[in-house]
Structure 1
Amino acid sequence: MADASSHASPDGVSKSDDANAPSPGSRQKDGDAVYPNPISELAKKDGYKFEDGRYRNKDGDPQSVVTKDYMVDWGSWNGFRRYHDACHVCHGPNALGSTFAPSLADSLKTMDYETFLTTVSSGKQESRGGTEFVMPSFGEDKNIMCYIDDIYTYIKARSLDILPPGRPNGREDISPEAKKAADDCTG
Structure 2
Amino acid sequence: MEFRELSIAGAWEITPRLFGDHRGSFHEWFKQEAFEKATGHRFKLEQANMSTSTEGALRGIHFADVPPGQAKYVTCVSGAILDVVVDIRVGSPTFGQSDSVLLDDLSHRAIYLDVGLGHGFFALSETATVAYLVTSGYNPAAEHGIDPLDPALGISWPRLGHTGRPLTPVLSDKDNAAPSLQEALDAGILPQFEG
When normalised by structure 1's length, the TM-score is 0.28
Higher strand proportion (structure 1 or 2)? 2
Higher helix proportion (structure 1 or 2)? 1
When normalised by structure 2's length, the TM-score is 0.27
